[in-house]
Structure 1
């Protein structure tokens, strides 16, 4: 069956991860924060953030600003945003493919960072909609988020490809009947999509 839609993860595929372990370590070190203490608080708050039930300001209040600091929430937020960087090769490929196929985001992210990343990197220019955990209230790798994305896009599982850098998320997409490609680099992704008939000249 012809592939009619691509679903893209954002962090680790189109952009660097938004607020994953590496990004957190970098920002915490720059502010001299205790990583172990932060991590314990983060574990409790992060799911609520990514499910859209907590704002970024509330998350920072619980994980960082529960005691006086010598820096401001605005400064900490700016540092969080600054670690988001594009993957130019992936973005170029996505823009190229968007001319011939419908494309959507399907990702886990809190609302504030998600909207910052979309606007800053121009993702709305080639992705038709953003099926993000903070809007849908469910996280990958729960199969429900893939079924919701398919339903909103109006495509059958066998007509869709999920692109994700995490093996568990790839397996979850396949469990609902989608094609799925584990992203490693743009050249490899191009080849795997071509094998599925996407972007082939």
Structure 2
């Protein structure tokens, strides 16, 4: 069942909302998981070797300083990360996986989601500030022309050396927007990041689909409820 985390607040919530902060991959784009599954199938990667690696590097129980954390913090570059990832992967036949271009292959199927791009534009058109807060996996994966067009406020983890769900990451984007946490809604597809935003006092929406996220934001921003939503794909 789709569950969107809409905040419980006292008083008229919509009077408080002056900004919306969006995540990038998996929120403004097609699902990252679809791209990963396509790459695994296309390159005959042993899926268990990939899932074990991601779990040990990115789960809630992962220790601080894993290769993914270091990549998101800008402490290592994509080429270094590719080498570390390749060491942990095997093909279905047990052979080793080449490091060259791994990140590009993993994210090759990710595309901007037209419905979510339209939603960002609708939020901005309603007079509410929009911003981007993203944990980066190297410099690739972003459609920078689109980012520059949509957002005046952008915080990318690898550029600033802090990552979600650390409170400092949310603080940076709030400072850029000049807003208090209680005035801002945060939208992300990763539950730990949503929980981190809630802990610093932001309203939150757990993104699962464009339709659901639009409905959740529409409950907080009345101007959106009078707009015509994009047709579902």
TM range (shorter): 0.7 to 0.9
Q: Give the secondary structure class of the aligned counterpart of 2:204.
A: strand
Contact 2:20 2:187 in 1 (8 A): yes
**Are the structure 2 counterparts of residues 110 and 172 from structure 1 closer, same or farther at C-alpha, using a change threshold of 3 Å?**
same
Q: 2:121 aligns with which of 89, 95, 100?
A: 95
For 1:10, the equivalent position in structure 2 comes to: 24
Once the 2 structures are TM-superposed, how far is the Cα of residue 161 of structure 1 from its aligned partner? Answer: 0.9
Once the 2 structures are TM-superposed, how far is the Cα of residue 131 of structure 1 from its aligned partner? Answer: 1.3
The correspondence of residues 44-123 of structure 1 with structure 2, limited to 5 A, is 44-64=66-86, 73-74=100-101, 76-99=102-125, 100-113=127-140, 116-119=141-144, 122-123=146-147
Once the 2 structures are TM-superposed, how far is the Cα of residue 70 of structure 1 from its aligned partner? Answer: 8.6
Structure 2 unaligned spans of 5+: 1-14, 58-65, 89-94, 227-233
Q: More displaced, 186-195 or 144-153?
A: 186-195
Once the 2 structures are TM-superposed, how far is the Cα of residue 13 of structure 1 from its aligned partner? Answer: 1.3
Q: Give the secondary structure class of the aligned counterpart of 1:3.
A: coil
TM-score computed with the length of structure 1 as normaliser: 0.79
Deviations along 1:83-116, one digit per CA (max 9) or x if unpaired, are 2122221111112222222211112122322xx4
Count of aligned pairs between the two proteins: 195
Contact 1:65 1:73 in 2 (8 A): no
Alignment pair present for 1:189 and 2:207: no
Root-mean-square deviation over aligned CA pairs: 3.0
Deviations along 1:133-177, one digit per CA (max 9) or x if unpaired, are 212322222222112221222111111110112333222212111
Q: Give the secondary structure class of the aligned counterpart of 1:104.
A: strand
Structure 1 unaligned spans of 5+: none
**Are the structure 2 counterparts of residues 35 and 194 from structure 1 closer, same or farther at C-alpha, using a change threshold of 3 Å?**
closer
Q: More displaced, 79-88 or 4-13?
A: 79-88
TM-score computed with the length of structure 2 as normaliser: 0.70
Once the 2 structures are TM-superposed, how far is the Cα of residue 183 of structure 1 from its aligned partner? Answer: 1.9
Once the 2 structures are TM-superposed, how far is the Cα of residue 125 of structure 1 from its aligned partner? Answer: 1.0
| Structure having the larger proportion of residues in helix | 1
Q: Distance in 2 between matches of 1:158 and 1:108?
A: 22
Q: 2:38 aligns with which of 11, 19, 26?
A: 26
Once the 2 structures are TM-superposed, how far is the Cα of residue 7 of structure 1 from its aligned partner? Answer: 0.4
